[in-house]
Chain A
Amino acid sequence: MSARTTLRALPTLLRVAFAEAVAYRAEMLIWVLSTTMPLVNMVLWIAVARDAPVGRFTEADFVGYFLATFAVRQLATSWAAWLINWEVKQGTLAMRLMRPISPLWAYGMESVANFPLRLVVAVPVILLSVALVGAKAVPQHAWQWGFFVLALVGGWAIAFLANVAIGALCFFLESSERVLEVWLVLFFVCSGYMYPVELLPPTLRTLIDWLPFRYQIGLPVEMLTGAFGWEESVRLLLAQWAWVAGLGAVAAVVWTQGVKRFAAFGG
Chain B
Amino acid sequence: MLKRYLRLLGIQLKASGLLSLQYRADFFTDGVTSLFWTFTALAPLFVVYGERPNIEGWNFGEALLVVGWFTLLQGVLEGAINPSLTGVVEHIRKGTLDFVLLKPADAQFLVSTQRFQPWRAFNVLTGVGLFIYAFSWLGRWPSVPGLLASVLLLGTSTLLLYSLWILTVSAAFFVVRVDNLTYLFSSIFDFARWPSNVFQGVGRGVLTWVFTFVIPLALMTTFPAEAMLGRLPPQSLVGAVVGAGLFAWGSRQVWLRSISRYTSASS
Near B by CB (< 8 A), chain A positions 10-53 give 26-27, 30-31, 33-37, 40-41, 43-48, 50
Nearest Cβ in chain B — how far from A90, in angstroms?
Answer: 16
Near B by CB (< 8 A), chain A positions 181-215 give 181-182, 185, 188-189, 194-195, 199-201
Residues of A within 8 A of B (CB): 26-27, 30-31, 33-37, 40-41, 43-48, 50, 54-55, 178, 181-182, 185, 188-189, 194-195, 199-201
Known contacts A46-B201, A185-B39, A194-B44: does B183 contact A27 (CB below 8 Å)?
no
Identify A54's interface contact among B39, B51, B201, CB under 8 A: B51
Identify A181's interface contact among B36, B190, B194, CB under 8 A: B36
Q: Which residues of A contact B191 (CB under 8 A)?
A: 36, 40, 43
Near A by CB (< 8 A), chain B positions 166-181 give 177, 180-181
Residues of B within 8 A of A (CB): 29, 33, 36-37, 39-40, 43-44, 47-48, 50-52, 55-56, 177, 180-181, 183-184, 186-188, 190-191, 193-194, 197-202, 207
Nearest Cβ in chain B — how far from A35, in angstroms?
Answer: 7
Complex Cα gap A181–B194 (Å):
23
25 pairs from A and B in contact (CB 8 Å cutoff): A27-B180, A30-B180, A30-B181, A30-B183, A30-B184, A33-B187, A34-B187, A35-B187, A43-B191, A44-B44, A44-B194, A47-B56, A47-B197, A47-B198, A47-B199, A47-B200, A48-B48, A185-B40, A189-B43, A194-B43, A194-B47, A195-B44, A199-B47, A200-B47, A201-B50
When A and B form their complex, which 3 residue pairs have the shortest distance between CB atoms, in order from nearest?
A34-B187, A36-B187, A188-B40
Tell me if B187 and A43 are in contact (CB < 8 A). Answer: no
Complex Cα gap A40–B194 (Å):
9
Q: Which residues of A contact B183 (CB under 8 A)?
A: 30-31, 34
By beta carbon, the residue of chain B nearest A57 is B51
